[in-house]
Amino acid sequence: MILNTELEYKGNLFPSKIISYEKNLNVLSFTTENGVILEVTVRRDSILRFRFTTTGIFENDFSYAITKYASRGYNHLEVNENEENYIITTSKLICHISKLDLRTSIFDAIDNTLICEDELGFHWEESYEHGGNIVKMSKISQPGESYYGLGDKPVDNNLKGKRFENWVTDSYAYGRDTDPIYKAIPFYTGLHDKKSYGIFFDNTFRSFFDFCQERRNITSFWAQGGEMNYYFIYGPEMSDVVVNYTDLTGKPHELPALWTLGYHQCKWSYYPESNVKEITAKFRELQIPCDAIYLDIDYMEGFRCFTWSKDHFPDPKRMVKELADDGFKTIVIIDPGIKIDMDYSVFQEGLEKDYFCKRADGPYMKGKVWPGECYFPDFTKPEVREWWSNLFKELVEDIGVKGVWNDMNEPAVMDVPGKTFPNDVRHDYEGNPCSHRKAHNVYGMQMARATYQGLKKFSYPKRPFVITRAAYSGTQRYTSSWTGDNVATWDHLNIANLQAQRMCMSGFSFIGSDIGGFAEQPNGELYARWIQLGIFHPFCRTHSSGDHGDQEPWAFGDTITNVVRKFIELRYQLLPYLYTAFWRYAEEGIPILKSLVLYDQEDSQTHYRNDEFIFGEKILACPITGPNQKGRRMYIPRGRWYNFWTDEVISGGQELWVDADLDSMPIFVKEGAIVPKYPIQQYVGEKVIDELLLDVYYKLGKENSLVYEDATDGYDYIKGRYSLRDFKLLGKKNELIIQQHKSGKFITTYKTFKLSLHGLPFKISKVQVDNEEILFKDIKLNGDNTLVLNKEFTELHIMA
């Protein structure tokens, strides 16, 4: 263990002075007298990779996190030296490397501000137990510096003053500050002097981050093996840091089908078939929109993956079809543990083909999960992933399952210390054989990847849908995720809010929580407040454990049912808005939720805010997080905002009281925004959209808004069959001008827009479309400040 070694310096070894330097295009190598090599790769003007070896030889350069699609290339690269330093200059940053000991300092190339500087810098301890090194890095925390990111940590947004561990862990009923939990995303952003940078420590061993906890002005990170291998990503905008990290570790390989952004209902477990049907029928009867229904482990025969319980689900194909006819997509759980059972074909095949993980001395890795004793596929082997992906043929192609939920993939093992594999288990790691110490954090990721490959293959020409519990950096390329086994308490509503925001600023936007809480039972008020939050999360699913009572939207009486319906309906109305945000995420890496600090880092008021967040680009939301509340105080970021419910305009940059009875919550829309809405549907595709509602929020000045649409599923959008509308709004005292630029070849089903004008400061007396004055009767100007017009316009003038 290395706890406190930073303090004691016991056993720490350090690089000595540089004796040689080599430049190979964008790769710069510095060798020290004691045999340490630092390799700096200039990936982009704003991204440097730092890699150290203490043996004179680098390991095979392989990473599960970095995508081959990451952008590369820079505008400028120059290396100079003075007496003390080598100096690397790109168009965005300047990096000094000390000739004495390899310590680095990085500056903004434009104004020379110091951004990030090593304290001890790279150092290491040799590990007698495992061989290799415990690799360490420490940096000086700049005055007033704040820290954000690290994935699913259940703590306040700003990480300063805390220490964290990255080791994916099954964490039933975790709580605030429990660490580590299900995911390992060793990426953080630092922010000081209005400038932000990020560090991605791409090391899959158990790793640690200390943000000024051990020492007040020092931030450090270390791992129990592997290389000191990290990427420095410069902003100075935090949003650029996140975008560049996401570019490096990958954006989702495709857009999710629109239905996956609808509401999902889950429980451990809905069975038998009649129970599933009762639930789905109730949704339709009560007219509460829902797109997906989940089958948890009890649908299987003795928890054997890829089987069905004959008693409970005698004819799955028929059932899945009947559900589909009613608009429900069936999603099933698949865990990694394969039951040891010689009569079970998946087990037999895995055994025959030698696909299961083994211990160091040869026995199989045997562990207990839901089915009892199991073996576990080694998902770090490409051949095993290929096999696994093919196991989905029947489920998806034949039975018609539309999505797969991967759980217990930390991997979780019951009744053993550490709740997972022992360290000595062997893995292929893409032909770089290693122990579980190195493969643990990516095991779940590789399982989700194999599942994704199967879904992609057998869902074709539709898009795949996967959900995973465990994840490492880069997992967002393949799958969505949820935050695991939370609890039905008010504090967990807060935690869910923090986790979703944090995952979004860690490159992983397709995230949600078990709405209402997995363990224990919420009361109606907590459930309703959680739904209000949940409809603003990219993945929106109620899930709960069966032994704690019912948790469907109607389980808490009519008042609550009505509130829940109202908010799920709002989710469905906002689908084109959310889909556009998703498109921006998949296209550009822009997070779907933005914590206020990510939205406006220049306003130092945002640096410690937790509850408020921006949904997409223009909507500000803030959940009510306690019982019996009729509203709350919240911080409104700078700018002017419309209260979503009342259209009252308020100025931001201040904390305010906002009313929010149980059937309401604080929601604001940025002035100048154009928010697209669909009619309420019980499921995506229920209705042909015959008019697009555009909520237009008047602003004195300019604002841009985008609306992205396509066929809602399939791959035609990649061939250009999408519709992207870029609206430019310009508000003047007596006039509102909207220009529309349309691109893409997709033809939407609707012919008209219905504009709903909010906050217009004048009475309309004239409307001009594409230079022609339009008679009121042609545009159907309604008394309520709505007007209907042809979707093809390029320039609209609404005049006093």
| List of residues contacting ligand GLC (CB under 6 A) | 268, 296-297, 333, 407, 469, 484-485, 543
Query: Among residues 43 and 469, whose Cβ is nearest to ligand GLC?
Result: 469
To ligand GLC, the closest distance from the beta carbon of 119 in angstroms equals 39
Angle between helices 558-573 and 524-534 (to 10 degrees): 0
Query: Among residues 129 and 547, whose Cβ is nearest to ligand GLC?
Result: 547
To ligand GLC, the closest distance from the beta carbon of 395 in angstroms equals 17
Beta-bridged to residue 364, according to DSSP, are 358
To ligand GLC, the closest distance from the beta carbon of 276 in angstroms equals 15
Alpha-carbon span 139 to 279, nearest angstrom: 54
What does residue 531 show for φ and ψ, rounded to 5 degrees?
-60, -40
Alpha-carbon span 286 to 289, nearest angstrom: 9
Query: Among residues 273 and 296, whose Cβ is nearest to ligand GLC?
Result: 296
**How many residues does the structure list for the chain?**
800
Asked about 61 being catalytic, the answer comes back as: no
Question: Nearest-CA neighbor of 187 among 138, 231, 139?
Answer: 231
Closest CB to ligand GLC belongs to which residue? Answer: 268
Beta-bridged to residue 255, according to DSSP, are none
To ligand GLC, the closest distance from the beta carbon of 470 in angstroms equals 10
For 324-383, where are the E strands, in sequence order?
A: 329-334, 338-339, 367-369, 372-375
Q: Which amino acid is at 153?
A: K
Token pair for 478? 């393949």
Token pair for 255? 């857009």
Query: Among residues 305 and 586, whose Cβ is nearest to ligand GLC?
Result: 305
Element (H, E) at 541: strand 540-542
Alpha-carbon span 424 to 362, nearest angstrom: 10
Neighbours of 287 (CB within 10 A): 10
Query: Among residues 437 and 469, whose Cβ is nearest to ligand GLC?
Result: 469
Token pair for 673? 């925004």
To ligand GLC, the closest distance from the beta carbon of 476 in angstroms equals 19
Q: What is the DSSP string of 688-731?
A: ---EEEEEEE--SEEEEEEEEE--SSSSGGGGT--EEEEEEEEE
To ligand GLC, the closest distance from the beta carbon of 543 in angstroms equals 6
Alpha-carbon span 90 to 485, nearest angstrom: 45
Query: Among residues 152 and 296, whose Cβ is nearest to ligand GLC?
Result: 296
The DSSP output letter for 261 is G
Report the half-sphere exposure of 175 (CA within 13 A, side-chain side): 3
Asked about 278 being catalytic, the answer comes back as: no
Give me the catalytic one of 227, 378, 407, 695: 407
Give me the catalytic one of 108, 240, 273, 485: 485
Asked about 410 being catalytic, the answer comes back as: yes
Give me the catalytic one of 410, 525, 552, 713: 410
Query: Among residues 86 and 518, whose Cβ is nearest to ligand GLC?
Result: 518
Question: Nearest-CA neighbor of 66 among 255, 254, 251, 256?
Answer: 251
To ligand GLC, the closest distance from the beta carbon of 153 in angstroms equals 18
Give catalytic residue positions: 407, 410, 485
